[in-house]
Structure 1
Amino acid sequence: MTRLILSAAVMLSLATSASAKPALRDVPEIDNGLFTVGLADQIRKNCPDISARFFRALSYLKGLENEARDRGYTEAEVEAHLDSDAEKDRLRARARDYMKTRGHGQDQQGYCALGREEISRGSAIGALLRATN
């Protein structure tokens, strides 16, 4: 009887660990998508010559939320991730690194130059932006 209980406990433990979801930051499709939206938002806020394609950005975000839910994350888990100051800071640091590797500073000139590059390349970031001048 003790052996049966121990076996059941081990199996339950293995099943639980096998079904555990990774943190949303560890799901590349979600993390890269949030990076894309976040950097596009920073560009449009810091460059007066570039605006957002808001409906496209909202649709993109909704797609990320649906992807997370399809992977078994609850609305509360998604909201907690989106509201996390630590995650926001991590993505901002990633954006700083990205801008630096592209040769741009985090000033108006750098944001505008990066935004125009992303738009002209037709990147995921550029697809969320529109040059107004």
Structure 2
Amino acid sequence: MTKQFSLVLALSLAAAPAAAQVPISQERYINDRLIAARVADRVRTECPSIDARLVYAWGQARALKRYARDRGYSDTQIDAFLDSKQDKARIYAAAEDYLTRNGARKGDAESFCRIGRNEIAGKSVAGSLLVAR
């Protein structure tokens, strides 16, 4: 083997684990945004004074799908992830945990409104999907 070939081989082998794709269910950016979208959806359904920015949310969903494709996930992988009951339950549970930790109480619309107003004021991902009336 030549020195140059050995160097290229060593560098490619060293880079292989870094380039390995994690399962989409473990991709933090994607999961965090789906959890934030679920938080926003729960707030808008429970709080009568907050609505969803539906057109913006639709655009963000398309951007997230583009992000996943750019990271090498196929449409088949993306669709399987989005259709997965297990992953949906995990995302919903994480959103519910977030809401509970931030004071949301079942049957208390104002607790959801408070969270929504805080998310909007804090310019969070969830807040960007909401608008106060």
Same fold, TM-score > 0.5, yes or no: yes
Q: Is the CA contact 1:25–1:31 (under 8 Å) kept in the aligned structure 2?
A: yes
Q: Is the CA contact 1:99–1:106 (under 8 Å) kept in the aligned structure 2?
A: no
Query: What are structure 1's unaligned runs of at least 5 residues?
Result: 1-13
The match for 1:69 is 69
CA distance in 1, matches of 2:99, 2:48: 18
Alignment of 1:49-88 (within 5 A): 49-88=49-88
Indicate whether 1:44 and 2:32 are aligned.
Answer: no
Query: What are structure 2's unaligned runs of at least 5 residues?
Result: 1-12
Instruction: Normalising by structure 2, report the TM-score.
Output: 0.78
Q: Secondary structure at the match of 1:77?
A: helix
CA distance in 1, matches of 2:93, 2:128: 22
The one-letter code sitting in structure 2 at the alignment partner of 1:51 is: D
Instruction: Normalising by structure 1, report the TM-score.
Output: 0.78
Q: Secondary structure at the match of 2:73?
A: coil
The match for 1:3 is none
Q: Please, what is the CA RMSD of the aligned residues? A: 1.8
CA distance in 2, matches of 1:82, 1:28: 15
State, as a whole percentage, how many aligned pairs show the same letter: 35
CA distance in 1, matches of 2:111, 2:96: 11
The one-letter code sitting in structure 2 at the alignment partner of 1:53 is: R
Report how far residue 110 of structure 1 moved. Answer: 2.3
Q: Which runs of 4+ in 1 moved over 3 A?
A: 17-20
